[in-house]
Amino acid sequence: MFKLRFLTAGESHGRALTGIVEGIPANLELTEQYINTQLKRRQRGYGRGGRMKIESDRVEILSGLRWGKTIGSPIALLIRNRDWENWQEGMSIDQAHQGAIPAVTRPRPGHADLAGIIKYNQKDIRNILERSSARETAMRVAIGAVARRLLEHFGIKIGGFVTSVGQEQFEIELAGCDALKLHTLADKAEDSDLRVPDETVENKMKEAIDRAKKDGYSLGGTFVVFATGVPVGLGSHIQWDRRLDARLAQAIMGIQAIKAVEIGSGFELSRRPGSEVMDEIYPPESGKGLLVHRKTNHAGGIEGGMTNGMPVVIRAAMKPIPTQARPLKSIDISTGEQIEAAYERSDVCAVPAASIIAEAMLSIVLCDAFLEKFGGDSIEETETNLKSYLSRISG
């Protein structure tokens, strides 16, 4: 992160999640309602566990805004955990409550549990799982909404849809999708419980989730997130950590349970000859300047670590949820004996939610790269900088 910084804090069953985001210019219009709309999108989805019914996340903006607009100071956000009342002693910060609930001693394969207790010298796995839980991503979605608001102000739109759950696939040739096609798919996905743009495929996915639920296992899947209206030249080729593809891969991989990230045609690029997968360059439709035209987007909108004016397109893969009703083999860390892993109420499939979190992370990284390029302490200053750049390159 070069211009925008953020941190989140909070345990899954603690009092609240908090976040601070710094670097948003002054005079951006923002409301709690705008952020809440994104929080609501994260909570939808077929195959979610009981927790989604308890939560009904609402953000409180504590600082950084006055009379509906940002003032350039850090924006502090708060999301209260709705079932805190049931955990006040179990998750108390006060030593007087020690032992109020039994320790968790059965690490779940596929989770942070075992490595976490060893690394942090803990005897109760709860001290690890409370923070490794994807509950934390609610705050990332809230911070992502702030970034998204800024991008939207400058005509950059973010979207996404789910492309597979387990073996069930929604087939799509991403390299052939222009901005309009991508948004049409995302709009369709918005009306679907699983965020899939095709009802027939969605029904098969639902059946797969029902089978998994019945038999006590979980399912992963893949999704696409994208950004359109992105100006040429965000990110840079000059240093590894400035490359936008690298920054995006880290941000998306930083979401719990995401195990692979592709930019554009990704792995498919390695299987096809170079003659087929470079996006050839055609003169601008206006006939002047450097805002060229392309017929394909295998590069996913990024060449040499910089945006090239085409939609930024990313696909990611989520592994199945580790906690499963049919328990896996583990050991009890207090006795060393072979047992079955602990089961806490859990999602069967969270791929749709993961896609919303990925939209948030994409927004944050793009907002950072946008501010790095166009800077400014107020929105008006950023607008002037963008306008002057666009007039230079459009000829």
Ligand X SMILES: Cc1cc2nc3c(=O)[nH]c(=O)nc-3n(C[C@H](O)[C@H](O)[C@H](O)COP(=O)(O)O)c2cc1C
Residues of the shown chain interacting with ligand X in the complex, contacts defined by CB under 6 A = 49, 110-112, 132-134, 137, 255-257, 319, 321-323, 346-347, 350, 353-354, 357
Asked if residues 17 and 81 have their Cβ atoms less than 8 Å apart, the reply is yes
Least gap, CB of 14 to ligand X (angstroms): 16
- Widest CA span in the chain: 75
Nearer to ligand X, 192 or 307 (CB): 192
Considering the complex, state which of residue 357 and residue 362 has its C-beta at the smaller distance from ligand X: 357
Toward ligand X, which CB reaches closer, 256 or 265? 256
**Residue 57 or residue 347: which is nearer to ligand X going by CB?**
347
Closest separation between CB of residue 104 and ligand X, Å?
12
Task: Name the minimum Å distance from CB 253 to ligand X.
Answer: 8
Tokens of 10: 């909070």
Smallest distance, ligand X to C-beta of residue 360, A: 11
Cβ proximity to ligand X, 110 vs 266, nearer residue: 110
Q: How far apart are CA 170 and CA 245, in angstroms?
A: 24
**In the complex, least distance from residue 333 CB atom to ligand X, rounded to whole angstroms:** 17
- Cβ closest to ligand X, residue 65 vs residue 342: 342
Shortest distance, CB of residue 251 to ligand X, whole angstroms?
13
CB of 194 to ligand X, least distance (A): 13
In the bound state with ligand X, the residue whose beta carbon lies nearer, of 185 and 356, is 356
